[in-house]
Chain A
Amino acid sequence: MSVLELTKDNFDQTVGTGTSLVDFWAVWCGPCKMQSPIVDAFAEKRPDIQVCKVNVDEQPELAMRFGVMSIPTLMVFRDGALVNKTVGLSDIDEIERLCQ
């Protein structure tokens, strides 16, 4: 399944239904460049989960709203509610656990 790029305008609507994994990232961040292909692989593996990315540089409001203080940060939303969060690089098994 393709990975959706979220902005402050489509965030709530997109994560409002079902389970979503959101990867907060930025181009200047080396570990985020490593997180990205792992998140992509997860999206392939789990088409039942909506996988999204937020560029914190372009969407500072979203980063501030969710208190992102270090990237990469991964968050899991269920029907719009934040249910899980991890800071720092995660491998595919950790993402799997995060989404349980």
Chain B
Amino acid sequence: MDGIFDMLILGAGPAGISAALTAHARGRSALVLSSDPMNTPLARAPRIDNYPGLPGMSGRELLAAMGESLEEQGISRVTGRATAVAPFGGTFMVSAEQDVYRARTLILAVGAQQGAKPFPGEAELLGRGVSYCATCDGMLYRGKRVAVLGLGAAGEKDAAFLERVGCQVLYLGPTQAKKCEIKGTDRVTGLVADGEEYPVEGVFILRDTVAASVLLPGLAMEGGHITVGADMAASVPGVFAAGDCTGRPYQIARAVGQGNIAALAADAYMRKEQEKQK
């Protein structure tokens, strides 16, 4: 954990990048943390015609161009999946894999999958065999049978990691993992996929994004979206949200605008906090 950033931005889509550029323009240090943005719905858009100034671009091209703006401004960027957030001493700590980052404010620009329906048994058995973090919990399953539901880009990599540490891995890719049920009362005892039950002691559910409500328990949500005010402030002081994670319409122009507002509001929040301390 080296240094405290002013703003830690989760997500490198239009909202996150817009927030980072605004933070930088305001003289604030920003870190953008995200999984691969090329594995998002936007990256699959063949052509975007309603975003000004960049005619005829595909989603991939637009994301690449936005990423270049970050590089051009020298803004720090890290690829990784945030697995937990903790407020601590007026800052926020965020863990991604084995690393921890720290910032004064948090901007959630994590995209629209917040409403992703949990599997039957997922919430009940979380921490009792269900895990979202292979690098955290893998070692506790050495020599045991585990299932990996590889719903995101990192699924295969994490399955390989679990095999390396000595787990017996049943890997289900994005299509096979769609309809699963996790079995167990006190702890995980099995996984049902495609009508067949596999005896396993652990189930690693690896989505590209851990839902905001799981990252920050107590964060106010509505209909799978993060509740925000006009200044993009979420229900937890110091936390802001922007883009598709705050609701419909899922549009690039809206996300960029909200990212800008969120960073300005985070800047104002930090100034106020500084005033208080004087």
Contacts and interface: CB of A to CB of B under 8 A. Distances in A.
Contacts of B141: 69
Interface in B1-35: 1
Nearest to A38: B88
Contacts of A31: 83-84, 86, 95, 133, 136
A8 to B, nearest CB: 16
A31 B96 CA distance: 8
Contacts of A70: 126-128, 131, 136-137, 140
Contact of B99 (A30, A56, A71): A30
B139 A57 contact: yes
Given A33-B95, A34-B95, A56 B139 contact: yes
A73 B136 CA distance: 11
B142 to A, nearest CB: 8
A26 interface: yes
A30 B95 contact: yes
A71 B98 contact: no
Contacts of B100: 30, 33-34
A89 B129 CA distance: 16
A89 B86 contact: yes
A37 interface: yes
A82 to B, nearest CB: 15
B98 A63 contact: no
Contacts, number: 84
A68 B126 contact: no
Contact of B187 (A30, A33, A35, A69): A69
B139 A28 contact: yes
B68 interface: no
Contacts of B135: 28-30
Contacts of A68: 140
A16 interface: no
Interface in A16-36: 26, 28-35
A28 B127 CA distance: 17
A56 B128 CA distance: 16
Most buried by A among B93, B96, B140: B140
Interface string A43-72: 000000000000011000001000111110
A73 B131 CA distance: 13
B84 A34 contact: yes
Interface in B201-248: 202
Contacts of A67: 187
A87 interface: yes
Contacts of B95: 30-31, 33-34
A87 B93 CA distance: 18
A22 to B, nearest CB: 16
User: 10 closest pairs, A vs B, by CB?
Assistant: A87-B127, A30-B95, A31-B84, A29-B136, A34-B93, A70-B127, A89-B84, A33-B100, A31-B95, A34-B86
Interface of B: 1, 83-89, 93, 95-100, 126-129, 131, 133, 135-137, 139-141, 187, 202
Given A29-B135, A34-B88, 18 more contacts: A30-B98, A30-B135, A30-B136, A31-B95, A32-B136, A34-B84, A37-B88, A37-B93, A38-B88, A67-B187, A69-B128, A70-B126, A70-B127, A70-B137, A70-B140, A73-B127, A89-B84, A91-B87
19 contacts: A28-B135, A28-B136, A30-B84, A31-B133, A33-B98, A34-B88, A34-B93, A35-B86, A69-B127, A69-B128, A69-B140, A70-B127, A70-B128, A71-B140, A73-B127, A88-B84, A89-B84, A89-B85, A89-B86
